[in-house]
Amino acid sequence: MRNDDIRLASRLLIRVLRGESLEAAMEVSGAALASARIRAWVYGVCRHYFSVSEQLANICRTPLTKLDREVFAVLLIGVYQLTHSDAKPHAVVSESVEAIKRMHKQSAAFLVNAVLRKVDRDFRPASLSGKYELPEWLIEKLRAAYGEKFIRSHLACLNSRMPQCLRVNQRKISPQDFHAALRSQNIDFTILREDTTVRLRDPQPSRSIPGYSEGWFAVQDASAQMPVRELDLQPKLRVLDACAAPGNKAFQLLEHDVELTALDINPTRSAWCETESSRLGLPLVITEGDATNKCWWDGRPFDRILLDAPCSATGTIGRHPDVKIHRAPGQLAALQDRQVRLLSNLWDVLALEGVLVYATCSLLPEENDAVIGQLAVANKDVRIEPLNVHPSERPLIVSREFGAQIFPDSDWGDGFYLAKLRKAKPAS
């Protein structure tokens, strides 16, 4: 019954609104069996949270913060269906009312009925948050960093759905042979700059793609594939992946036959990592350790270091729409502090003439160039190296003082920042 779907969707949405990631909420017991419709509702509410909330606030006499959380969730799902789906309005209203009754909220049935009957399918938000589906603080930070032209021409891209991209596992198959396998199954694709990076025209289950069981490819965003390419890898180099979980970039590193140390303070999804390691034929063990200290280090310097630092993830909103609900400006100082401590500590374990690539999936300068700037001021041996990433319009790539900012693009992938640093020998 649809009202049962509404009840399950509301429970999942409540978890997200409480601060749990959308991905984690979808993995809880029972949610894994959620129908495509339930997933579409929950993702849809997160994607359109600010416009849906704005219309709901305009209609509902009770302040949204005063609503019972289950009533609030059912109303959000109802407004989303009425404004962003082809569901019949009378069905949405009646099923939402029935759902709230079955949730033992009989007294709220009149409110749900009255509010949803007033929803305007053609509602146009008055606020910037509602128009762009982003929190106002983020819009203002992006305006300050990149200017009004960026706001007008590119801000909407942040909320676009991101494509499904694959990375060819060259330990198993050549890019050309993989392309041929896709064509043989009439799967349309586009090569994105490198022949090892493929974007599928139509997303599909990974297991239905040729070569899944054989480990011919890994699912990985196009932007996320770029940091490893900037490391100038050669076989047998000693390499550190400092924030390695869940392991996608570590697997990419292992394709280059390097001596890899994969480290993370909280190795997660170990079962997935073991399965993926077996499927790809790339043995990977992620060691638990905090890269802000050296307790895990054996004293031997690394030739290459990848620091994909924990960040606000503001470049991944199109793929993870809950990010814009969870992030707040007050979180940025702590994130930057950790990024600076990570980078400073890892600089100590980098060999002379070694290369460190710093990456985030953030769009905010305080997590990117500002972090590199602090390292450069504190260490005279920091040399900024040119990237093989050049300014462009699609995707939008902008050169910064120390690195490059890639912005989200529905034909490319997530937003990312990259900087390439070399530890210079002391001047003689």
What are the pLDDT digits (tens) for 380-390? Answer: 999 999 999 99
**Which helix or strand (DSSP H or E) is residue 126 part of?**
none
What is d(CA 94, CA 259) in angstroms, rounded to the nearest whole number?
61
What is the pTM (predicted TM-score) of this model? Answer: 0.95
The pair of structure tokens assigned to 144 is 């300050």
Q: How far is CA 125 from CA 64, 80, 115, 122, in A?
A: 17, 14, 17, 10
Note the pLDDT of residue 73.
98
Give yes or no for a contact between 387 and 377, defined as CB atoms under 8 angstroms apart: no
% of the chain residues with pLDDT over 70: 97
Angle CA 385–256–221, to nearest 5 = 75
SS3 25: helix
The pair of structure tokens assigned to 279 is 């499927």
Angle CA 389–392–397, to nearest 5 = 60
Note the pLDDT of residue 235.
96
Note the pLDDT of residue 177.
98
Note the pLDDT of residue 32.
56
What is the mean predicted confidence (pLDDT) over 185-193? 97
pLDDT bin (cut points 50, 70, 90) of residue 416 is very high
Note the pLDDT of residue 270.
73
**Which helix or strand (DSSP H or E) is residue 303 part of?**
strand 302-308
pLDDT digits (tens, 9 = 90+) for 247-282: 999 999 999 999 999 999 988 767 789 999 999 999
Is the alpha carbon torsion for 174, 242, 141, 136 positive or negative?
positive
DSSP symbols for 331-396: GHHHHHHHHHHHHHHHHHTEEEEEEEEEEES---GGGTHHHHHHHHHH-TTEEEEPPS---EETTE
Q: Is the pLDDT of residue 28 over 80?
A: no
311 is catalytic: no
Q: Which of 314, 190, 306 is nearest to 251 (CA)?
A: 306
pLDDT digits (tens, 9 = 90+) for 132-177: 999 999 999 999 999 999 999 999 999 999 999 999 999 999 999 9
Q: Give the number of other CB atoms < 10 A from CB of residue 69.
A: 12
Note the pLDDT of residue 53.
98
418 beta partners: 359, 404
What is d(CA 357, CA 6) in angstroms, rounded to the nearest whole number?
45
* DSSP assigned state of 202: S
Q: Which of 311, 391, 299 is nearest to 343 (CA)?
A: 311
Domains parsed from the chain with CATH numbers:
2-129 (1.10.940.10), 164-219 (3.30.70.1170), 223-423 (3.40.50.150)
**Residue 321: which residues within 8 A CB-CB, separation 6 or more?**
22, 43, 46, 47, 49, 159
% of the chain residues with pLDDT over 90: 93
179: burial class by Cβ within 10 Å (0-12, 13-18, 19+)?
middle
Which of the pair, 30 or 130, is modelled with greater confidence?
130
Note the pLDDT of residue 30.
62
Give yes or no for a contact between 380 and 345, defined as CB atoms under 8 angstroms apart: no
What is d(CA 233, CA 407) in angstroms, rounded to the nearest whole number?
26
Write down the residue that tokens 């079962």 correspond to. 271
Q: Is the pLDDT of residue 428 over 70?
A: no
pLDDT digits (tens, 9 = 90+) for 296-339: 999 999 999 999 999 999 999 999 999 999 999 999 999 999 99
What is d(CA 309, CA 138) in angstroms, rounded to the nearest whole number?
20
Q: Which of 304, 316, 277, 341 is nearest to 138 (CA)?
A: 316
- Mean pLDDT across the chain, nearest whole number? 95
Q: Give the number of other CB atoms < 10 A from CB of residue 77.
A: 26
382 beta partners: 423
Note the pLDDT of residue 346.
98
Q: Catalytic pick from 157, 165, 243, 361? A: 361
Note the pLDDT of residue 1.
55
Q: Output phi, psi for 411, to 5 deg.
A: -100, 0
Note the pLDDT of residue 269.
67
